[in-house]
């Protein structure tokens, strides 16, 4: 049974504090803020959605009611998957894909990038995300719902987006490429639990399920990547 559990269920879940800095709300430590209660794992996740008048405080959580075992040397690397036909190079550097005019259920996606074997944080890991919009359409003319970022010194990434729509033959998913500095590129996809189309999608992999919970502002999801450093 343990081998059927997703990477995010077998690894620790980060907590992170962010504040808005112009159009791109990149992770920074709040000056008003919450007291540190230890390492980066215990930071509060402060979300500064542009469409919410006041920032909401939401902790990054795993599956409610279940313990989240630590990553170990036996934890398998994140499975790779096809990049599909809609990948584009040159995406903008940003952590906020969901611009104010984009419809859909708001989604916070966060997690760690950890190294295979020793489970150490991969600082500066490159992550490139792309996805369909709420209707299941990709922007192939521009860079809507596309963007790349770099994990911080604790190996944590943070993304504000919307829940992707479905289209013929596919369940809901988010594409991502992840690369440790000087390491090989992992191309994979992140899936959502409880989706009716999961079992009908030939690419679906249970090991790539994110931990997701509903919140008043939308959904909060966590997923950890295990990558090769060399």
**Do 224 and 190 touch, CB atoms closer than 8 A?**
no
Buried b (16+ CB within 10 A) or exposed e, 89-121: eebeebbbbbeeebebebbbbbbbbbbbeebeb
This prediction has a pTM of 0.74
Cα distance between residue 148 and residue 97, in whole Å: 9
pLDDT, tens digit, 9 for 90 and up, residues 153-191: 999 999 999 999 999 999 999 999 999 999 999 999 999
Closest by CA to 109, choosing from 190, 24, 181, is 190
Q: Are 226 and 78 in contact (CB under 8 A)?
A: yes
pLDDT digits (tens, 9 = 90+) for 193-212: 999 999 999 999 999 999 99
Query: How high is the pLDDT of residue 6?
Result: 54
CA distances to 59, 79, 126 from 118, in Å: 26, 17, 19
Token representation of residue 96: 């906020």
pLDDT at residue 225 greater than cutoff 90:
yes
Cα distances from 150 to residues 21, 26, 112, in angstroms, run 16, 10, 11
**pLDDT value of position 71:** 77
Structure tokens at 10: 């077998």
For residue range 73-100, what is the model confidence (pLDDT) as tens digits?
778 899 999 999 999 999 999 999 998 8
Sign of CA dihedral 30, 35, 37, 38: positive
User: Exposure pattern of 141-166 as b/e (b: 16+ CB <10 Å)?
Assistant: eeebbbbbbebbebbbbbbbbbbbbb
Tokens of 50: 């542009």
Return left, alpha or beta for 212; rule: phi > 0 is left, psi -120 to 50 is alpha, else beta: beta
Burial of 66 (0-12, 13-18, 19+ CB in 10 A): exposed
Q: Which domains does the chain have, with CATH numbers?
A: 1-230 (2.60.130.10)
């Amino acid at each position: 049974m343990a081998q059927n559990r997703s990477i995010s269920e077998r690894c620790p879940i980060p907590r992170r504090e962010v504040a808005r800095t112009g159009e791109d709300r990149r992770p920074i430590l709040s000056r008003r803020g919450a007291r540190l209660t230890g390492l980066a794992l215990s930071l509060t996740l402060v979300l500064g959605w542009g469409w919410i008048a006041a920032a909401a405080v939401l902790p990054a959580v795993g599956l409610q009611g279940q313990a989240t075992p630590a990553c170990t040397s036996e934890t398998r690397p994140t499975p790779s998957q096809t990049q599909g036909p809609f990948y584009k190079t040159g995406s903008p550097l940003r952590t906020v894909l969901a611009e104010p005019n984009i419809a859909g259920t708001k989604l916070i996606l966060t997690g760690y990038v950890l190294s295979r074997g020793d489970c150490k944080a991969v600082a500066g890991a490159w992550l490139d995300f792309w996805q369909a919009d709420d209707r299941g359409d990709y922007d192939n003319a521009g860079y809507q719902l596309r963007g790349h970022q770099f994990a911080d010194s604790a190996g944590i990434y943070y993304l504000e987006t919307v829940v992707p729509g479905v289209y013929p033959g596919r369940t809901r998913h988010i594409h991502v490429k992840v690369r440790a500095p000087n390491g090989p590129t992992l191309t994979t996809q992140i899936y959502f639990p409880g989706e009716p189309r999961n079992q009908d999608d030939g690419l679906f992999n249970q090991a790539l399920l994110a931990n997701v919970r509903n919140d008043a502002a939308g959904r909060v999801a966590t997923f950890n990547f295990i990558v090769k450093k060399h």
